[in-house]
Amino acid sequence: MRKWISYPRQQGRVSRQAHADFPEEGIYERELGRSGFFGPASHMHHRHAPTGWSHWEGPLRPRAFDCNKLNALPVSPWETPVLLHNAHCQYRIWKCEHPMEHLVRNADGDELLFVHEGKGQLFCDYGRLEVQEGDYVVIPRGTMWRLEPTESLFLLMIEATNDAYGLPEKGLVGNHAIFDPAVLETPAIDDVFLQQQTEDPWQVHIKCRNQVSIVSFPYNPLDALGWHGDLSVVRLNWRDIRPLMSHRYHLPPSAHTTFVAQRFVICTFVPRPIESDPGALKVPFYHNNDDYDEVLFYHAGEFFSRDNIDSGMVTFHPAGFTHGPHPKAYQAGREYSKKFTNEVAVMLDTRDALEIGSMVSDIENSEYVNSWLPKK
């Protein structure tokens, strides 16, 4: 267990507490922290916005991708190009428009689906589950499954490679905070599920070590008659998330953690009141990306800390530079012009650097790095 060197000090004009009551000449606060938002940290106060760059060269840069431009996607999720990846995670966008004619199984790790658009039915080892816009669906490693959309499905898929998804420790706020586990839903072995248990031939496309093998059966292998236990496909809709809030302090993204793996976390930003205390910061604070890569998928609403970002887009802020709200959003926060956020977004924070897939050139906004420049 690591013990960080701890030596709290202060120099110059500073606020008494982080994210509140800034000195007037240092209104731009920057957090330098380790281990995400859990390690030692210092808070700088600057004359200028830490994102006030005028030019950027080199491969390290903030990136933005418009996933709405992905149209001709394969019928199998395993043939869909990977957008971002590392040894512990694969991040895909997949559109499923027609009922899958084969089953799939991920032998490499748990799969997390987020339904951005559409609705349908998921058939799996554990039964049948209705899915719709806004659902998270956790599919345990080795589970056979297929989708039958009733409306075209636009899906975010995040694989926990050689790993499993769990729930965050909720500490002082208790087990029922953020969302009560009672809202989690599992598939049902109902009449619809039993009726699909035919003697017709079926194939299972198994992804293992990023290679696909096909296993054929003379019947539908989703032929369970019942099950019991505490391992299953699980569904959670973002509307069942009740976020932690503080009217006097802007909480870090870690307060909005939804699922955890060993080397990354998934957070969900949902509508909430904006901090009302006069001295409290009202937008995400500027911070250094020193230990984690950050990826945001924008699902719905108005994304209050970003300009020119629409639903269905992805931003990628790799570790190594300071980032934070765009100038207009920061000014709106100072003026307290909005009293409520109405955004819904899914954040992936990875402890290990992400690589970019080969398909991004068609969907990347190369001007995103310049979006922090003052508007002329």
pLDDT of 55 higher than 80: yes
Which of 195, 221, 238 is where one domain is finished? 238
Evaluate whether residue 3 is within a structural domain: no
pLDDT of 221 higher than 80: yes
In this predicted model, which residue has the larger pLDDT, 12 or 218?
218
Q: How far apart are the first and last CA of the chain?
A: 51
**C-alpha span between 372 and 330 (Å, rounded):** 11
Cβ-Cβ contacts under 8 Å for 268 (sequence gap 6 or more):
238, 241, 256, 258, 344, 345, 346, 347
Which of 196, 217, 238 is where one domain is finished? 238
Q: Do 51 and 77 belong together in one domain?
A: no
Residues constituting the chain: 376
Evaluate whether residue 169 is within a structural domain: yes
Q: Do 208 and 257 belong together in one domain?
A: no
pLDDT of 63 higher than 80: yes
pLDDT of 223 higher than 90: yes
Confidence of residue 268 (pLDDT cuts 50, 70, 90): very high
Q: What is the dihedral of CA 321, 251, 91, 68, to 10 degrees?
A: -90
pLDDT of 92 higher than 90: yes
pLDDT of 338 higher than 90: no
CA dist 356 to 1, 161, 274, 320, Å?
32, 16, 34, 16
Whole-number pLDDT of residue 111 = 98
Cα 89–Cα 288–Cα 284 angle in degrees, nearest 5? 90
Q: Do 100 and 122 belong together in one domain?
A: yes
When mean pLDDT is compared across 225-229, 282-286, 314-318, 347-351, the lowest value belongs to: 282-286
pLDDT of 61 higher than 70: yes
47 C-beta neighbours (distance < 10 Å), count:
9
Evaluate whether residue 312 is within a structural domain: yes
pLDDT of 26 higher than 80: no
Q: Do 215 and 126 belong together in one domain?
A: yes
pLDDT of 204 higher than 70: yes
Q: Where are the alpha helices (DSSP H) in 142-207?
A: 191-195
DSSP code string of 276-291: -STTB--SPPEEE-SS
Q: Do 258 and 226 belong together in one domain?
A: no
Query: Would you call 141 helix, strand, or coil by DSSP?
Result: coil
**C-alpha span between 126 and 222 (Å, rounded):** 8
Evaluate whether residue 13 is within a structural domain: no
Q: Do 340 and 201 belong together in one domain?
A: no
* Domains contained in the chain, number: 2
Q: Do 233 and 341 belong together in one domain?
A: no
Confidence of residue 56 (pLDDT cuts 50, 70, 90): very high
Beta strands at 135-139 and 109-124: parallel, antiparallel or unpaired: antiparallel
Cα 37–Cα 41–Cα 43 angle in degrees, nearest 5? 110
pLDDT in tens, 174-191: 999 999 999 999 999 999
Evaluate whether residue 64 is within a structural domain: no
**CATH code where residue 249 lies:** 2.60.120.10
Evaluate whether residue 98 is within a structural domain: yes
Whole-number pLDDT of residue 328 = 86
**C-alpha span between 231 and 137 (Å, rounded):** 13
Q: Do 81 and 220 belong together in one domain?
A: yes
pLDDT of 376 higher than 70: no
Q: Do 211 and 296 belong together in one domain?
A: no
Question: What's the whole-model pTM score?
Answer: 0.95
- Span 192-207, mean pLDDT? 98
Q: Do 95 and 232 belong together in one domain?
A: yes
Q: Do 49 and 145 belong together in one domain?
A: no
Place of tokens 């292998």: 221
Q: Which domain holds residue 333?
A: 24-55+241-364
Confidence of residue 306 (pLDDT cuts 50, 70, 90): confident
- Span 241-263, mean pLDDT? 94
Evaluate whether residue 7 is within a structural domain: no
Evaluate whether residue 192 is within a structural domain: yes
Whole-number pLDDT of residue 196 = 98
What is the overall mean pLDDT for the chain?
94
pLDDT of 290 higher than 90: no
Q: Do 135 and 252 belong together in one domain?
A: no
pLDDT > 90: what percent of the chain?
79
Which of 204, 238, 272 is where one domain is finished? 238
Which residues are 139's β-sheet partners? 111
- Span 215-226, mean pLDDT? 98
